[in-house]
Amino acid sequence: MTVKLMQGNEACVAGALKAGMKFYAGYPITPSTEIAELSAEALPKVGGKFIQMEDEIGGIAAALGGSLTGLKSMTATSGPGFSLKQENIGYGIITETPCVIVNVQRSGPSTGLPTSPAQGDIMQSRWGTHGDHSIITLYPSSVKEIYYTTIRAFNLAEKYRTPVILLLDEIIGHMREKIEIPENDDVEIIDRKKPTCDPSEYKAFKVKEGDIVPEMAAFGQGYRYHVTGLVHDETGFPSGNELVADKLLNRLIDKIEGNKDDIVTYEEYLLDDAEIAIVSFGSIARSSKTAVDTLRSQGYKVGLFRPITIWPSPEEQLLELGKRMKKIFVVELNAGQYFLEVDRIAGKHVQVNKYGKINGEIITPEEIVAVVKEDQNA
């Protein structure tokens, strides 16, 4: 057992290395920079590669190029840089290229309050790239959870052949906590399935029966195939046919939305007998958890629902919560982004309130306690 005092961003790199990251391409931006710095230090020691690109767009582009050539790849950024990466996130989606994109959220819009905390990219992480698509976004809330969630982000990227967004925020990215990593940590590591067929039979974007995604050859492996951001058929070549477009684009959505049972994770805290639920994630879920304890000690039947998979959202669980609770509060460090999703799902059964902030200050447990009490005693 290794016990360490570790920073959130450091745990992200440790998790990525454990997952098999062999290539990092990025551009420095606070508060994500430590992820680039530590990758630059660690990767060449394990035969991996690091490159500091000329800009954020180049960072994700090179990471996708590295992934197509067979290496597990990652890039990390914050707010403004996340905006810049959006077009190529869409490229990763339509070309089914595994990649982990870390966004250590900071205040915005634009340069905002550098580098105060915020959770303002909840919707950007869902809808930032243009066009209809689905996406996997994970959001841990402790240093230990960052380590394991980063591993999971790589696993999901490989399994579903898609970019996975790992949301952190300035608070958990820079926070230091004790983390215990077992010496022989037998955590599952998933690698993309590669083709073994004769190259003449390889159809790069055909899903074999029983598989979720097409087998993925690395450039140079002997399967000469075409990758394009255009709508393409099973061979990988572009097509303007509406049936081909319909089949491809819906398959890309369905491979994620249809596997929510595998993808969606969440934590429930004291919800069994609760009448009031707080929905909260990332750093603010920590304030919410403390608020739940305080409110419980004062006799309020409150619990916490913490989505760890933000997208696709835990729809089934939120609907169930809506049916069981008398009130839901969505507490997030923004002006009410995830509230829209929770209200959409649970709002038909229960009143959903939002509490947020966009001034660069965190939300304290005391504030949450006051919000719930004010509402309950009104």
Applying CB under 8 A, the residues found at the interface with other proteins are 22-23, 25, 44-45, 47, 49, 51, 53-55, 57-58, 61-71, 73, 87-88, 91, 218-222, 224-230, 237-238
Edge-to-edge strands, sheet with 163-169: 49-52, 23-26, 73-77, 99-105, 163-169, 136-138, 309-311
Nearer to other proteins, 226 or 348 (CB): 226
Nearer to other proteins, 76 or 264 (CB): 76
For the bound state, the minimum distance from the C-beta of residue 154 to other proteins, rounded and expressed in Å, comes to 16
For the bound state, the minimum distance from the C-beta of residue 98 to other proteins, rounded and expressed in Å, comes to 13
C-alpha 48, offset from chain centre: 23
> What is the distance between the alpha carbons of residues 71 and 67, in angstroms, rounded to a whole number?
5
Q: What secondary structure does DSSP assign to 156-219, as a single string? A: HHHHHTSEEEEEEEHHHHH-EEEEEE-TT-------PPPP-S-GGG--TTPPPTT-SS---PPT
For the bound state, the minimum distance from the C-beta of residue 65 to other proteins, rounded and expressed in Å, comes to 3
Q: Helix axis angle, 79-94 relative to 56-68, nearest 10°?
A: 30
Nearer to other proteins, 227 or 362 (CB): 227
Nearer to other proteins, 90 or 356 (CB): 90
Q: Say whether 353 sits in a helix, a strand or coil.
A: strand
Q: Are strands 176-181 and 2-7 parallel, antiparallel or unpaired?
A: antiparallel
Nearer to other proteins, 43 or 352 (CB): 43
Nearer to other proteins, 198 or 261 (CB): 198
For the bound state, the minimum distance from the C-beta of residue 16 to other proteins, rounded and expressed in Å, comes to 16
For the bound state, the minimum distance from the C-beta of residue 199 to other proteins, rounded and expressed in Å, comes to 8
Which backbone phi and psi does 239 adopt, to 5 degrees? -145, 140
For the bound state, the minimum distance from the C-beta of residue 91 to other proteins, rounded and expressed in Å, comes to 5
Query: What residue type is 143 in one-letter code?
Result: V
